[in-house]
Amino acid sequence: MRSFIIHMKGDAKRAPNARRLLEILPGAEIVDAVRGADVVAAGEVKTRPGDLHAPRYPFALSGGEVGCFLSHRACWQKIVDEGLSHALIVEDDLAPASPEWEAALALAEAYAGPEHYIRLPAKAREKPVQVMAEQAGAMLFLPRVVGLQTVAQVVGRAAAARLLAKSEVIDRPVDSFLQMHWVTGQPLQAVLPSGVRELTEELGGSTIQKRAAGSKAIREIRRAVYRARIRTRPQG
């Protein structure tokens, strides 16, 4: 299996971890992360203010969120262009923890094919609707509601093509987009325990730009309403 590590060129804080991932992940290579602010300023990406799909996304996209989305799209495009059955896509703050990581990755790879998108979540929050397989203590399942974050996932070629076709215009962050199986036509499975840990804070914090200041209470209400609407569209 090939592995694509999303890493921003010139990020000295994250470079050592990216190099470590190059050494330990199967068939690994670096995929240059996209600087979202640059492509937005250059008019090289089509965006909408959260109103392309229902439910409406209640927050403005930051440049960092646009860059993160485009970086994942670049990996999906590589999978399609290179005719891969599937590949592992990770972000450069991934810290895989043995032995759970080995068991989770082995189960995902054994099951994965061109049609699959299998999450290896950093947080064990998803609840199964259907269990597909179990192996060495790891469970592969269809979650009722797809979780957020995109630290690590195994993505198939047909799934990548499907997601590319549905994301030519961006109106929300990539993890929120991936939750919308009713828009993408792409079911997402998950493996837990995953052995996935994030080093975000240890590596200097998120590379996604902070949002503009505003009323925290209003933001939390909007977030809660949005998440409640997502929960009304479960998988299965």
For the chain, the helix, strand and coil percentages under 3-state DSSP, each to the nearest 5: 35, 20, 45
**How far is Cα 194 from Cα 131, in angstroms, rounded to an integer?**
15
pLDDT at 199: 85
- Count the alpha carbons within 13 Å of 35 in the hemisphere toward its beta carbon: 8
Quick check: pTM over 0.85?
yes
**How far is Cα 159 from Cα 51, in angstroms, rounded to an integer?**
24
What CATH number was assigned to the domain covering residues 2-231? 3.90.550
pLDDT tens across 134-179, in order? 999 999 999 999 999 999 999 999 999 999 999 999 999 999 999 9
Residue 23 CB partners (closer than 8 Å, separation 6+): none
